[in-house]
Structures are given as C-alpha cells and as structure tokens.
Homo-oligomer: A and B are copies of this chain.
Amino acid sequence: MATKKKKEPVILITNDDGITAPGIKNLVEAVKELGKVVVVAPDKPQSGMGHAITIGEPLRMNKVDIFGNIEAWQTSGTPVDCVKLAVDKVLHRKPDICLSGINHGANHSINVIYSGTMSAAMEASIESIPSIGFSLLDFNIEADFTAARFYVYKIVSALLQQKMDKHLLLNVNIPAVNMDQIKGVKICKQAYAKYEEDFDERKDPQGKKYYWLTGKFINFDKGKDTDVWALKNNYVSVVPVQFDLTNYTLKKQLEKNKFLK
C-alpha cells in the first residue's frame, strides 16, 4: 500500500483567472483521481499577463481551503510566479506534471503569447516539468465544462501512462459545443490569426482622455492544419509549443548577409 502511494504522480495546478474561477475547480475535479493534486494559483484574475514575473516587489502566499481535501495556496503573484513559488516553497520538488486552466476563453493562435494560462505552463516546461494549458472557448462564468473535463481527463491520464519529454508543452483548446458534437482531438499548428486592435477613446469626468483596448479577431491563415480551423470544425485542438523562439529560417538568411558583420 505504501509503495502504491509513493508512485502517485504529483499534479501541480494553476491558472490565470484566479483561484476562485470555475475553470480551475473543474480542472481539479477532472484529474483529482489521477494523482496527488496541489493547487497554487493567483488570488485575483491575471488574464493577459503573458509571461510577466514579479521582480520589484515581494509576494504573499496563503493556504486556502476551497477544494475539499486538496492542498491549495493563493499567491499575490502572476501565473508564472505561482509555478516558481509552487516548486520552490510548496512542493520542494518538481511535480510530475503541471496543468494550467481551465481558462475561460480561447487561447488558440497568437493568444498563446498573451495568455497567463499558457505562460504558466511554459514556465513549467522551461523548468523541465511536462505541462499542459487548457482553455474552453466560452468566457461565460457559467460555462458548461462537461466536455472540457472529459478531454482533460482523457489527455492527462494518457500522458501520465507514458514517458513524457521533460519539456513537453501542449496548448489544448476545447470548443464551446456539446460533448456529442465534438469530433475528436486534432494535433495542430498555431494559426497566424490575431486581433486587429483599436482603442476606444473616452473622456473621464474631468474631461481627460483615456483609452480602452478593443479588437476584432481575424484569421489570416487559410491552412486546415491550424488550431483555429480545428476549433471551428468542432475538434479539440492540441498545439505542441516550444520556448526556443529562434527563427532558424531567418538565421540562415542573415548568416549569408554580410551587412551585419
């Protein structure tokens, strides 16, 4: 019995919507039978934080009791801070896998770069912890996580049963449709799709201008191998992600170019 318990994988869970968001509760519920789950998540929403870290000020971390018998901590930091704190101050070891989410809203295509959910997962990958970010294409606080939970369980349980690359990093998005409409899982590339931004220009009660970010999502990518295509066609999209940002094609071109020498 003791031996069996020792082998139980340690599953670190975090998110960017904050520890009280329905998405993280659903993630905990989906995988809690698969190992020892520990939650370390932000104490407030941190959407759009990208890979921000807290350097200039200290962080707070407090134990909270909101997931039944699951150990959980809330921190004043960003999603990336949470992963760092979890490894160094909570677990005192690397977990076997890190799961981030379930995000309320899409993290496909260029969103991977702005997303706190995916940045937390990427931080784990940099730290040699296999990691997955999950997002449901539904911003609604009362979103239905039934299909998301099913696919979270399916993917995590399958991965825990095999040898994972230590830098494994997956960006998983689940379409906001009923379970029986989902056609399956599709391995994809990141679509070149982005927001055409605009700022609402407004005036405050003192008559001073302020600006609020708005934007329209546009898919420039006509490929059928992208996450945007897969989601539009009711597949769960899985994009393998890396943190080596070197553009090797451009590197070769520049090496031939004498102007920089």
Whole-angstrom CA separation of A165 from B146 in the bound complex: 44
How many copies of this chain does the complex contain? 2
A162/B245 in contact, CB under 8 A: no
Per a CB cutoff under 8 Å, which of B45, B59, B114, B260 touches A199?
A: B59
Which A residues, 228 to 261, have Cβ-Cβ distances below 8 Å to chain B?
238-248, 250-251, 254-255, 259-261
Q: Count how many chain A residues have C-beta atoms less than 8 Å from C-beta atoms of the other chain.
A: 74
A114/B185 in contact, CB under 8 A: no
Across the two chains, which residue of chain B brings its CB closest to A225?
B251
A211/B49 in contact, CB under 8 A: no
B84/A199 in contact, CB under 8 A: yes
Q: Which chain B positions have C-beta within 8 A of A8?
A: none
Which A residues, 20 to 55, have Cβ-Cβ distances below 8 Å to chain B?
45, 47-55
A240/B250 in contact, CB under 8 A: yes
Q: Which chain B positions have C-beta within 8 A of A149?
A: none
